[in-house]
Amino acid sequence: MRNVTIVGSGPAGLTAAIYAARANLQPLLFEGHEPGGQLTLTSTVENFPGFPDGILGPELMESMKLQALRFGTEIIQASVERADLSQRPLRLWSEDREYATRTLIIATGASANLLGLESEKRLLGHGVSTCATCDGFFFRGQEVAVVGGGDSALEEGIFLTRYARRVHLIHRRDKLRASKILQERALRNDKIQFHWNTILEEILDNGQGKVGGLRLRNTGNGSPPYDMPVDGIFVAIGHQPNTRIFQGQLELDEVGYVLTRGGSLTSVEGVFVAGDAHDSRYRQAITAAGSGCRAAIDAEKYLETLHER
């Protein structure tokens, strides 16, 4: 029987582990299929407090992991495949083993939707990004592209105009899905150039392992594919929260984000959530870490009420 079990090993999960371990709750943490979360796919992180010269994403996550281990967290290098939140204790299954826990912290994060190109995967973190707030600064005075046509794409594009010389917004249709106010802002921004009815066929390497351009095709005029030089590309076609195993057991929104009832509390007693599994707005390492702290404290307080019963 565990007091606290944490599913996920990004900033939210590891921060929750640090706090729970320091509270002498001996937490168990499942790393999941992507140990360290999305930060392990990035290069330099410059917006996490305490590192004036920046820090490599994998290095930051390794430091968090070592800190969690230092205080007594048990870490299992596996994913949770199934959960039963309908009974007490809560039950989880991983690699044919069953685990029982009094509280559960869901920190499974969300995965950015990608285009599925081999070059996109290969150059991720080397000019391909899914977060303008995280990486826009690195493209000061350069030309970048954004793929998408919804609110996220226009928000990313508008944000990037603070740094980039020009932002090419690539959309496969001739109309945007974004809200009217964002459309108006983007359309009147002279730094944003729209490429309508255009699909991205390939991300081109500059010969040094970084993005050097894009191969595009206009589906409206039937013209052959053409190459456009850019220094970076931001894929903004949405995120998918990694909450599939909790469907039907927790209240989720239409996309799959966990709904909260004040702080980190979910619709099931003893189950808490942290990080991008419930945060569709900020999606930053620092906000994920903060919510991990909150979830651990909420779990600790809940365990105290169990003791009092």
Q: Which of 300, 294, 287, 241 is nearest to 264 (CA)?
A: 294
- Of the residues 53, 84, 96, 135, only one is catalytic, namely 135
Region 12-20: mean pLDDT is 98
Q: How confident is the model at residue 171 (pLDDT cuts 50, 70, 90)?
A: very high
Region 238-250: mean pLDDT is 94
- Of the residues 53, 84, 96, 134, only one is catalytic, namely 134
Question: What type of residue sits at position 249?
Answer: Q
- Of the residues 53, 84, 96, 131, only one is catalytic, namely 131
Known catalytic residue at 293: no
Known catalytic residue at 134: yes
Check residue 39 and give its pLDDT. Answer: 84
Q: How confident is the model at residue 251 (pLDDT cuts 50, 70, 90)?
A: very high
Q: How confident is the model at residue 74 (pLDDT cuts 50, 70, 90)?
A: very high
pLDDT, tens digit, for every residue of 136-156? 999 999 999 999 999 989 999
pLDDT, tens digit, for every residue of 282-294? 889 999 999 999 9
- Beta strand 110-112 with 271-273 is unpaired
pLDDT, tens digit, for every residue of 42-64? 778 888 999 999 999 899 999 99
Q: How many other β-carbons are positioned within 10 Å of the β-carbon of residue 112?
A: 19
| Distance of alpha carbon 309 from alpha carbon 303, whole angstroms | 10
Return the SS3 of 232: strand
pLDDT, the chain, mean = 94
Check residue 150 and give its pLDDT. Answer: 92
In this predicted structure, the answer to whether residue 133 has a pLDDT above a threshold of 90 is no
Q: Which two tokens stand for residue 145?
A: 């592209």
Question: For the sheet containing 226-229, what is the strand order?
Answer: 198-205, 211-218, 226-229
pTM (predicted TM-score): 0.84
Structural domains of the chain sorted by starting position, each given as residue range(s) with its CATH number in brackets? 2-111+239-308 (3.50.50.60), 114-235 (3.50.50.60)
Check residue 309 and give its pLDDT. Answer: 62
Residue 4: strand pairing partners: 103
In this predicted structure, the answer to whether residue 161 has a pLDDT above a threshold of 90 is yes
